[in-house]
Structure 1
């Protein structure tokens, strides 16, 4: 009989600094990696002030005038960075009820016609004018989460009986951050969809580090367990929710699975800040599968619900060989007007390709 989780484990990262407790940390982390795919991290070392400054600018950011939001619209960016309004992104073929700003590690545009098309994803942010505190808060947060991500990967490697540093060569030079606002659902209107974001596995990074930036009474995030039940992921102050992305599932030969999750909108507005640890764009599926195959190939792979298998998983199951092209396909399918504008040469192919 399949067994499954009913709650998300909490991993205290301060135990890594205590020789007596580190073994317990690694055992707990191994369970979370192989049996759940989601976890909280506490005592993570990200300065409280960095988190507080980011949370403080969220209302300001989403209260910007419409013309300011339009000036940094995602549809202006071939890198898919900027503002997108409620209903502009789709998951599972249905519109998501959220608005968001997408930022990334600040980099210059380097693409030229001799490079693969997916290299056009690399490039600079669009920053709202007249609000320097927003840029400062976002860039400081990206810096700290990038550091946390690398420290965390070393612990993940050790929990999986590998050497520290094993996973760093898979990382990109650019990580992505979303600042997300889920508007409250209007009362007594059953015709409005509850889909804040539909069921999906994260295809935008190696690992995701999520700050649930609303009070504990604001719910919404749910994770699909192995028997097909939705498990709530409540707000735990002082923690990040951390989950596996699709590329990491491939590299671990399915031993560590990307877990399906969703967000349901409710009577309260909700703020959420996912940080997507970037994957090297030229990573091929063969390289991802074979690099650590000898290590992971003999380990048991847990069962997954039928619904989990049905979710779009282009890099794991699709025909595209590089992470970069798989990522570009996902972006174009999610932001279709943007894809039509900047990537007309592949737009029809990606939209009509369900592989």
Structure 2
């Protein structure tokens, strides 16, 4: 594989079930993990019916009346689950042109005074009224992706010469799903930003499993290679785009890097569905850094572009000791209305803390 990749590799997971092809699949996966940080998975075993049901539901969901969307606004939720409109988030100091619904594994709220505040992130979804069919579609999809993620982690462990099950103890009891709509951008209008999402590394999960839910002619996703060039990630029907999150980079001692990526808006509206595999909220820095350090110490750490290197891990570089508190800080800073409403005791601290 080239030192600075120019395309994203495709891993056929069905070949891992055949002893004659499994070694080559593991080698290709290892190369993708260490050299790219992004890959497609094909023949992944996720029900096509479940995927199709979700894709078909997206236009209905985003065409809901504003009044209905407001009833499930993210600002209503201490768990940061619900709807947020275009322009409600920014990346790198610039506004992102997207609207989204955020869901998670359906769990009850268990936080109470005396329990770490970050445990309040765990909790139930907000479901749009008058459309009960959407809940079943979304819950079926979360169930399928949860299973795929666990199976994939065991293959990753084997590719990195670790025992099956090595990465499972790092997982949370709750995974998160975003349903994202990027409106079309006017062609040739320089006053309208083309930033769907600005350059970033995924900081909210262990691994991300992305369904590009628009036809192949609809482009937008790009990945930054080590030379600092943006590489297109076109839609490949029947696949998921899979990429490393920052927590996994920390646990692998920087050997498997979270790769910087962005989304550019274009002349067509675009739908995208990232599933973020959750990280255990009580994971400490020491546990994350030390658990597998001896295994990864002997492996070469690949370089990355200057722009990619500048995006540090808030968990590793910040002053907070647990993954949960690092995540809470990030969410409060991104969704300040929620922070003021539900986390007033730490709001000023997090907003003014740039470390």
The two structures share one fold, judged by TM-score above 0.5:
yes
Cross-structure match for 2:168: 168
Cross-structure match for 1:241: 241
Q: Is 1:42 aligned to residue 24 of structure 2?
A: no
- Whole-Å separation in 1 of the counterparts to 2:255 and 2:298: 10
State the Cα distance separating 1:312 from its structure 2 match. Answer: 4.7
After alignment, is 101-110 or 325-334 more displaced?
Answer: 325-334
- Whole-Å separation in 1 of the counterparts to 2:187 and 2:4: 35
Once the two structures are superposed, what CA deviation does each residue of 1:1-38 show, in whole Å capped at 9, x if it has no partner? x9310100000000111000000000000000000000
- Whole-Å separation in 2 of the counterparts to 1:35 and 1:168: 23
Contact 1:89/1:335 (8 A) holds in 2 = yes
Cross-structure match for 1:21: 21
Does the residue aligned with 1:19 lie in a helix, a strand or coil?
coil
Does the residue aligned with 2:161 lie in a helix, a strand or coil?
coil
- Whole-Å separation in 1 of the counterparts to 2:229 and 2:346: 37
Structure 2: gaps (5+ residues): none
Q: How does 1:293-312 map to 2 (within 5 A)?
A: 293-312=293-312
Does the residue aligned with 1:262 lie in a helix, a strand or coil?
strand
- Whole-Å separation in 1 of the counterparts to 2:354 and 2:35: 29
Q: How does 1:61-210 map to 2 (within 5 A)?
A: 61-210=61-210
Cross-structure match for 1:348: 348
Does the residue aligned with 1:218 lie in a helix, a strand or coil?
coil
State the Cα distance separating 1:318 from its structure 2 match. Answer: 1.6
Cross-structure match for 1:214: 214
- Whole-Å separation in 1 of the counterparts to 2:157 and 2:286: 20
- Whole-Å separation in 2 of the counterparts to 1:226 and 1:101: 32
Does the residue aligned with 2:346 lie in a helix, a strand or coil?
helix
- Whole-Å separation in 2 of the counterparts to 1:72 and 1:312: 32
Taking structure 2 as the reference length, the TM-score comes to: 0.98
Contact 1:175/1:277 (8 A) holds in 2 = yes
State the Cα distance separating 1:343 from its structure 2 match. Answer: 1.2
Root-mean-square deviation over aligned CA pairs: 1.0
- Whole-Å separation in 2 of the counterparts to 1:121 and 1:253: 27
Q: Is 1:57 aligned to residue 57 of structure 2?
A: yes
Q: How many residues align?
A: 354
Contact 2:187/2:266 (8 A) holds in 1 = no
Structure 1: gaps (5+ residues): none
Contact 1:226/1:304 (8 A) holds in 2 = yes
After alignment, is 224-233 or 207-216 more displaced?
Answer: 224-233
Does the residue aligned with 2:326 lie in a helix, a strand or coil?
helix
- Whole-Å separation in 1 of the counterparts to 2:313 and 2:71: 33
- Whole-Å separation in 2 of the counterparts to 1:8 and 1:78: 37
